Amino acid sequence: MKTKGGKIGGILMLIAAIGNFLAGIFNTDPIHTLPENMTTSGSVHTGAAG
């Protein structure tokens, strides 16, 4: 990661890895769940998954 692009790419890969990790450990809510009835776990999963 000597170049500017290498550093940016590394940071983007780290962000993607963190998002995948969070989406993986927090269970999602069923697809028909209304936004106001979402659980904390479902909200974290949805936010982390993008």
Domain count, the chain: 1
pLDDT of residue 2: 84
Higher pLDDT, 9 or 2: 9
pLDDT reported for residue 40? 93
> Taking residues 1-19, what's their average pLDDT?
92
Query: Average pLDDT for residues 1-18, to the nearest whole number?
Result: 92
What's the confidence (pLDDT) of residue 5? 93
- Sign for the CA dihedral angle at 50, 20, 47, 14 comes to negative
Torsion of CA 37, 42, 15, 12, to 10 degrees: -70
The residue to which tokens 């940016």 are assigned: 8
For 22-49, what is each residue's pLDDT tens digit?
A: 988 999 999 899 989 999 999 999 888 8
Segments forming the whole domain that contains residue 8: 4-47
